[in-house]
């Protein structure tokens, strides 16, 4: 079942390890396939996991079920510069509680609606919708 969920989720480099179904809500526990990460300071590849930090993030719905991803943003320790760093994940920004693709869907809906109605549709706050718009605007500038 998990290979099918991994394929449906379509997050390159991530595998669905388990799931739980709570009525109209699905929680998928995902894990990175990689065993290392590059230090953002010096670029050195590190295999030394320093800590594990589990987070939850809202993702696109699947078959009318809201989806949350439970994921581990591992913290590595660089052997070259000696500093710890968190791995970079392509599908979610640092300190965000939603995936980039969820934010893109919400912001796309703003083209045809207003913040209040889009927030209501996705069961989020007006402030979060505004924050998503700002986040994606800054991300596109880079």
Q: Are residue 117 and residue 80 in the same domain, yes or no?
A: no
**pLDDT at residue 1 tops 70:** no
Q: Quick one: angle between helices 126-141 and 115-122, nearest 10? A: 100
Q: Could you tell me if 75 and 135 lie in one domain?
A: no
Show the domain range for 139: 98-142
Task: Work out the average pLDDT over 113-117.
Answer: 95
Q: What is the mean pLDDT of residues 89-114?
A: 95
- Work out the percent of the chain whose per-residue pLDDT is above 90: 88
Shared domain check, 60 and 28: yes
pLDDT at 7 over 60: yes
Q: How far is CA 86 from CA 36, 43, 62, 69, 92, in A?
A: 11, 13, 29, 18, 13
Portion of the chain with pLDDT greater than 70, in percent: 99
Same domain, 20 and 52: yes
Residues 116 and 47 in one domain: no
SS3 letters for 81-128?
CCCEEECCCCCCCCCCCECHHHHHHHHHHHCCCCHHHHHHHHCCCHHH
Q: Do 45 and 11 lie in a common domain?
A: yes
Residue 102 and residue 84 share a domain: no
Surface-to-core class of residue 104, CB atoms within 10 Å of its CB (0-12 exposed, 13-18 middle, 19+ buried): middle
Structure tokens at 106: 């919400």
pLDDT for 64: 87
Predicted pLDDT at 23 = 87
Q: Total domain count for the chain?
A: 2
What is the tens place of the pLDDT at every residue in 42-66? Answer: 999 999 999 999 999 999 998 889 9
Tell me what the pLDDT averaged over the chain comes to.
93
pLDDT value for 140: 80
> Residue 88: CA atoms inside 13 Å, Cβ hemisphere, count?
8
User: Which pLDDT belongs to residue 63?
Assistant: 86
């Amino acid at each position: 079942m998990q290979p099918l969920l991994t394929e449906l989720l379509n997050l390159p480099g991530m595998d669905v390890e388990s799931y739980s179904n709570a009525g109209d809500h699905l929680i998928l526990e995902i894990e990175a396939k990689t065993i290392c990460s590059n230090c953002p300071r010096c670029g050195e590849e590190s295999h030394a996991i320093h800590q594990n930090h589990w987070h939850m993030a809202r993702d696109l719905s699947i078959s009318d079920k809201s989806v949350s991803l439970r994921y581990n943003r591992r913290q590595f320790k660089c052997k070259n510069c000696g500093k710890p760093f968190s791995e970079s994940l392509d599908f979610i920004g640092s300190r965000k509680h939603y995936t980039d693709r969820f934010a893109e869907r919400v912001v796309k809906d703003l083209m045809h609606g207003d913040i209040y109605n889009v927030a209501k549709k996705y069961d989020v706050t007006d402030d979060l919708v505004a924050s998503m718009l700002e986040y994606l605007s800054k991300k596109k500038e880079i």
